[in-house]
Amino acid sequence: MSETTMQVELVSADRLVWSGEARMVVARTTEGDVGILPNHAPMLSLMVDGIVDVTTGDGETWIAAVDAGFLSVAANRISILAEHAEMSHEIDLEKARGDLDRAHGAGENDDEAAEKAARAWAEARIRAAESSKS
């Protein structure tokens, strides 16, 4: 790892989703979007459903959908821990759109929190898939 990169690990509850060196990471936290560059001050933050955008040391861009979780930065290491995380190239866009339609139509359910979480996760997956195509 050089002085211009950081080690990044994106981990979901069931697997390591992505790991490598990066020049920049952008993620959405409860305080808003945060951009992290090498030698960033240590921080711990709560993440909300959204996308994580990683620019690698080679200049490639990797995008992932994540749900709520934690972001930790210390000593040029970033750990992103989420219950669910999926790389944009793994996302079936039509399935994600169908999941969003079903989540919007599930209004007769008494579990509003579950419906809101399902909508947010589907929306994050759609944004990630669409972002990687642009």
With a CB cutoff of 8 Å and minimum separation 6, the contacts of 111 are none
Q: Which residues on adjacent β-strands are paired with residue 29?
A: 32, 47
Q: What local confidence, expressed as pLDDT, does residue 110 receive?
A: 59
Same domain assignment for residues 83 and 96: no
Same domain (yes/no): 116, 60: no
Tokens of 43: 């921080």
Query: What average pLDDT does the chain have?
Result: 91
Whether residue 61 is found in the same domain as residue 116: no
- The conformational region for residue 20 under phi > 0 = left, psi -120 to 50 = alpha, else beta, is left
CATH number at residue 37: 2.60.15.10
Q: Which domain holds residue 100?
A: 92-133
Mean pLDDT of 6-35: 96
Q: Which pLDDT band holds residue 115 (cuts at 50, 70, 90)?
A: confident
1 domain-assigned: no
Contact residues for 60 (Cβ-Cβ < 8 A; gap 6+): none
> What span, in angstroms and rounded, lies between the C-alpha atoms of 134 and 123?
17
